[in-house]
Structure formats: structure tokens, C-alpha cells
Amino acid sequence: MKKIVVSVLCIVALYADETPLSTQKQETLQLKRKQIQEDIQASSKSWISPLILSLSLNENKSASNDTSEVKNASLQWNQDIFRSGGITYTMQLANANGAANLLGVDIQEAAYLKSLYTLKVQCERDAKAQKQSELTLKNMDIDLLMTKAKYKAGLSDLSQLNQSTINRDTARTNLIVVKNALQSERYELQKIANNTDNLKIPEFALLSKKEYLAQNLELLHYNKQDLSTQIAWKNKCSSYFPKLALNASYGYSKNSYSSPYASDYEGNTYNYGLTLSMPLIDVSALNSVESAKLQYLQTKSAQNDRHIELESEYDKHVNNIENYKEKIALADEMIKMYDELYGFTKNQVIAGFKSQYDLDSLQNSVSIQKIEKEIQNYNITIEKIALYFDTKH
């Protein structure tokens, strides 16, 4: 169980460098874990009955004017010592529920870490995207400038000029959108981390499907819930079987009577004994036991359903990675083509057949495709992060 508690903390220590989750979030998670540990201890001891101190003072006056005064002080303990397995199930249930709840906190912390690293990658990616948009806008400005010159020279019609203007305005809008997205991501990142300036993005390995499903935090959580509901079902069954309890008390009593027919008493008192009990008729017993069984089966069914969903989610992430790799390959092809055109155009500029604008536009296009490769690599990292922080390490 201790391994479960520290699993995600190890991730923080390994990957967060000097900038882990915010102090407030770490404190909240730590307090949740401490509370769960206290709940485990309390629940595992819930079968132990308290030792009760009882003090009483009674004065009575009868119709015949007889009076009496009774003073009592006692310690009482009524303790089950056998519940047909119920005592053992109570302790097991406390530990099972505690393990499930601790994994729930691990899942919450993993979600924070996933958001932290995803946002950090998105910030770096969109900073590149902003540079890419700026280069695209430069190319649109060059295209508009050249189209205007052609239009004035009678080499281009008005529709081409309008299209170049629209393309330039679209590039301006895209740049604004990218800037806003980047600023929003930075704000969101500040919510879950104290300082991200020195936060390094590690190399996240791509887990196999088998590893992903075997280590998936949600499925591990379901395993603990399965165990918990199974024990709860057994515990419910045990409550309808024989139970043996120890009853004991020890105290002091002082009884004073005014009537000559009653004798005073002052001294110690005690009693002890065993009680064997078992419900004979409980009209809701079968329904209660069946309900506990159905809760267990429901948890198992939900786990199987989630297992199928997670298989599809894994396939989706892997497919996205392959798509991003295809985009990188396409960018490589474009870079090769632009490099060839750049060499040709440079010679044309020297010969006076092409303008410097053509050469600048091609240079920008090469840079745009190189940035595109970096952006797609960031996208691949985001997919790997999603899979990595879904699992236990």
C-alpha cells in the first residue's frame, strides 16, 4: 500500500526538476492521504466496542412517604467476540476501501501532472506555432505586394488581388488566435505549478498496449473496488449468521431506603456473561445480501467495460502518433522541394529574372516546414504524456 501512496510522488521527483505541482495542490493531496490513513485505522477497529462509564443518582418518594436514594457508578463493556467471520471481514474491508481511496488520490495527482506537462508542451509548441504564423503572415504580405504590382502592370486581375488580400487577413487572424491560445495555456499552467521556467520535459516512452492496460491507474482502482465490494458482500452475509458477545460490567452502588422493609446497601457490583444470538426472521435479509452481491457484480462489469474503452483510447493515441509522423514526413518532402526551388530561384535572382521577394518567400516556406516538424513532434509528446500518466510507475 505504501508503494501506491508514493508512486506518483516519485514521478514528481523524477520529472519536475525544481518545479513540481503547486505547494497548495501538494498539501491538499497530502492531507487527503493522511485522512484516508486515519479512516483505515478507525474502520479496522470499528468492531471493538467502547468501554462505557455510567454514573447515576436517583431519588424516589412513594405514596406512603417512603423515600429512597440510589447512587451507581459502573464500567460496562459489551463486545462481540465472534461474528461468523464478520470481524475479519470488517478489518479487510477497511484496508480494501483505504487502498481504493489512496489510488483515487493517486489518480487525481496523476491528472494534475498530466495537465502540467501537457500544458508545458503546448506552451512550447504554440510558441513555435506563433513563429510559424508570423512567417506565414510575412509570406502573405509578400504575395499581396507582388500581386498588387502585377495587377497594376496588367498581369493579374482583381479576383487574384482580392484573394491575396483575404489570405493576408486570414494569416493575421490566425496569428491572433495562436497568441491568445498561448497566453491562455500559460495562465492555466500557473494554476497548477509554482514556477515552470525551469521545468524540463523528459523523454516519455511509448508504452505497449499490454503495459498500458496492466499498469493503468483506473483499472488498478477498479481492482481495489472489486475486492472491497466482494468483502462487503461477504460481510453482509455474515451479519445473518450466529454472533457471540461478551457482556461485562463492574461498579459501585449505594442504596438508601427510609422504609423499614427495605435494607440499605453499599458496595461493589459486577456481572459478566456471554450472549449467543442469531436473527431467525428478517424479511429483508435476502434482498440485502442480493443487493451487496449485485454491487460487486456491477463493479466487475464496469471494470470490464472500462477495459474495453481503454483499449480503444490506447489505439486512438497510437493512431494519432502515426498521423503526426506522416505529417513530419510530408514536411520533409516540402523542405526538399523548397530547398531545390530556393537554389534555382537564387540563381534567377542573380540573373535578374526573379526578385528578392521570391527568394525571401521560399526561405520563409522552408522555415515554416521546419517549424511544422517541431510542432508535430510536440503533438507526439502530448499523446505519449496522455498514456504515460494514465499508468502507475
130 or 192, higher pLDDT: 130
pLDDT tens across 280-334, in order? 888 888 999 999 999 999 999 999 999 999 999 999 999 999 999 999 999 999 9
7 or 145, higher pLDDT: 145
Strand ranges, E, within the chain: 52-61, 67-82, 243-257, 265-277
User: Is pLDDT of 336 > 80?
Assistant: yes
Q: What average pLDDT does this structure show over 214-232? A: 95
User: Is pLDDT of 112 > 70?
Assistant: yes
| Residue 324 half-sphere exposure toward CB, CA atoms < 13 A | 19
- Residue labelled with grid coordinates 442504596: 255
Element (H, E) at 389: none
| The predicted structure's pLDDT at residue 20 | 58
| The predicted structure's pLDDT at residue 306 | 95
Confidence category of residue 354, pLDDT binned at 50, 70, 90 = confident
- Residue labelled with grid coordinates 498588387: 148
Element (H, E) at 85: none
Q: What average pLDDT does this structure show over 64-72? A: 70
User: What's the predicted TM-score (pTM) here?
Assistant: 0.83
Domains of the chain, CATH where assigned: 2-63+88-242+289-388 (1.20.1600.10)
- Residue 364's SS3 state is helix
* Beta-bridge partners for 56: 72
Residue 270, phi then psi, degrees to nearest 5: -160, 160
What percent of the chain is modeled with pLDDT above 90? 66
Listing DSSP states for 193-262 in one string gives BS--TT----------HHHHHHHBHHHHHHHHHHHHHHHHHHHHHHTTS-EEEEEEEEEEEEEEESSTTS
User: Is pLDDT of 5 > 60?
Assistant: no
Q: How many residues does the chain have?
A: 393
Q: What average pLDDT does this structure show over 126-131? A: 97
157: left (phi over 0), alpha (psi -120 to 50) or beta: beta
| The predicted structure's pLDDT at residue 155 | 83
352-379 as b/e, with b when 16 or more CB fall inside 10 Å? eebbebbbebbbbbbbbbbbbbbbbebb
Angle ∠(61,62,66) on CA atoms, nearest 5: 75
User: Is pLDDT of 59 > 70?
Assistant: yes
